[in-house]
């Protein structure tokens, strides 16, 4: 079993990373973590190459991500919330999934034939809503052919309590591993 984890956090030891760690403790198989703040992936430049061609005209590390999306079984999107949305760097990476939308809607092909399971972890300490970020994450998961999506695991008090001390969030993170493991 292979799992792709898209980490939208700038903090390597932050709350998002802590909950990703909880998932990974119980997760079977291989897990690849793509850190949006430390990867060599450019944002989409709307060149429209993908309107008529397979893939993306930008030749960077996203090519490896596209290949892994094809073979993986599970995808986890994990991000802090900035102004009620996923982080900008994660959205930069996510913009490169435009090729999947174009494949379906302009070229009439299924870009990711293998169905997957998806899940979302959202953390934050502000006063914003998690709904917009969850909706965005689910749209991205659907474009990567996640046909089963688990409800969001949320820790929304991280300005007062680390996410790994939020019992509901850590239980939810363990639940993601169980869901991905087939439980």
| Residues 51 and 102: beta-carbon distance below 8 Å | yes
Residue 183 has pLDDT above 90, yes or no: no
Domain of residue 156, residue span: 2-181
| Residues 171 and 165: beta-carbon distance below 8 Å | no
Residue 128 has pLDDT above 90, yes or no: no
Residue 127 has pLDDT above 80, yes or no: no
Residue 126 has pLDDT above 90, yes or no: no
Residue 129 has pLDDT above 80, yes or no: yes
Position 110 scores a pLDDT of 96
The domain total for the chain is 1
CATH code of the domain covering residue 109:
3.40.50.360
As a whole number, the mean pLDDT across the chain is: 96
Position 1 scores a pLDDT of 94
For residue 48, what are the β-bridge partners? none
pTM of the prediction? 0.96
Residue with tokens 């999506």, as numbered in its chain: 149
Collapsing DSSP to helix, strand or coil, 153 comes out as strand
pLDDT digits (tens, 9 = 90+) for 29-63: 999 999 999 999 999 999 999 999 999 999 999 99
| Residues 117 and 179: beta-carbon distance below 8 Å | yes
């Amino acid at each position: 079993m292979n799992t792709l984890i898209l980490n939208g956090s700038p903090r390597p030891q932050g709350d998002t990373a802590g909950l990703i760690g909880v998932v990974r403790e119980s997760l079977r198989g291989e897990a690849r973590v793509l850190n949006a703040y430390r990867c060599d992936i450019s944002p989409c430049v709307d060149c429209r190459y993908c309107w008529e061609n397979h893939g993306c005209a930008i030749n960077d590390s996203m090519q490896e991500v596209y290949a892994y999306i094809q073979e993986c079984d599970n995808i986890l999107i994990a991000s802090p919330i900035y102004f009620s949305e996923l982080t900008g760097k994660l959205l930069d990476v996510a913009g490169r999934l435009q090729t999947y939308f174009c494949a379906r809607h302009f070229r009439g092909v299924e870009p990711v034939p293998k169905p997957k399971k998806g899940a979302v972890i959202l953390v934050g300490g502000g006063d914003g809503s998690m709904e917009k970020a969850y909706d965005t994450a689910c749209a991205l998961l659907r474009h990567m052919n996640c046909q089963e999506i688990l409800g969001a695991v949320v820790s929304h008090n991280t300005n007062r309590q680390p996410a790994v001390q939020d019992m509901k969030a850590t239980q939810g993170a363990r639940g993601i591993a169980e869901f991905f493991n087939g439980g």
